[in-house]
Amino acid sequence: MNAPYNQDVLAAAEACFAQASQLLYCEPDAEVVADQVAERPFQNAPFGMDDADVREGMALMDAWCVAAAADEAGFDERVAALRREWLRLFVGAGTPDAPSWESFYRDPNSQLFSARTLEVRERYRRHGLQIERLHAEPDDHLGLMLGFVGHLIGLEAEALAVGDGAAAGEVADEQESFLVEHVLPWLAAWRYSVDAHASSDYFRGAGAFVFGLCARYAQRFGVAFDREGQVFKRK
């Protein structure tokens, strides 16, 4: 099941996945965070605001920005604290508090660079992509995978723009299979880890936003999150 999305909706979803990717994969940068505090981009998401988790995530991140704006003298320390939290949650000196690799959650003994990692790498390669630090970091990092989904959404929009409905359908099918096979099976466990260990509204919000965004987009393909069972299922 693939609910058709027009180019405007696809562009909105692509922007959200790109933002989600940066929140998880990129170490907080003072200039970027300063722009967020000044411009308050988390007041509204172009896609997914009809999802409660997306709204919660955006509200938490925006609340952090409001507090940071009111504490101009302490801004540098707030950014430094965000950087320390990002490292603790997603990088870690040993095991991060909220590991963000598919293979950590789904392979025996949390083995990284597993067959699943290679499957993800092959998906990237199929679309002409390769991560910068190939062989030095796992390809199945959630931030990278969200960026890949955003890339596929952009390809679908491009195909629609030139009237190639068949190509658009193929790329939409690729999005569905990638989400269902590589992202959704462990997303709830990851979100639980973020909730349990995040110390700021910024990263608590990022966890809620990422989860809600993926859950809302998956509805396009007839997949919904079963809160009782804490799993994603076909409707």
The average confidence (pLDDT) of the chain is: 95
CA 143 to chain centre: 5
Tell me: pLDDT of 135 over 70.
Answer: no
Average pLDDT over residues 166-183: 97
Average pLDDT over residues 142-152: 97
8-state DSSP, 141: B
| Per-residue model confidence as pLDDT tens digits over 9-68 | 999 999 999 999 999 999 999 999 999 999 999 999 999 999 999 999 999 999 999 999
Q: What is the largest CA-CA distance in the chain?
A: 55
Are 56 and 213 contacting, i.e. CB atoms less than 8 angstroms apart? no
Query: What is the per-residue pLDDT for 100?
Result: 96
- Residue of 21, 2, 45, 46 whose CA lies nearest to 148: 21
- Residue of 52, 214, 202 whose CA lies nearest to 194: 202
Q: Of 104-108, 162-166, 192-196, 220-224, which gets the smallest average pLDDT?
A: 104-108
Tell me: pLDDT of 132 over 90.
Answer: no
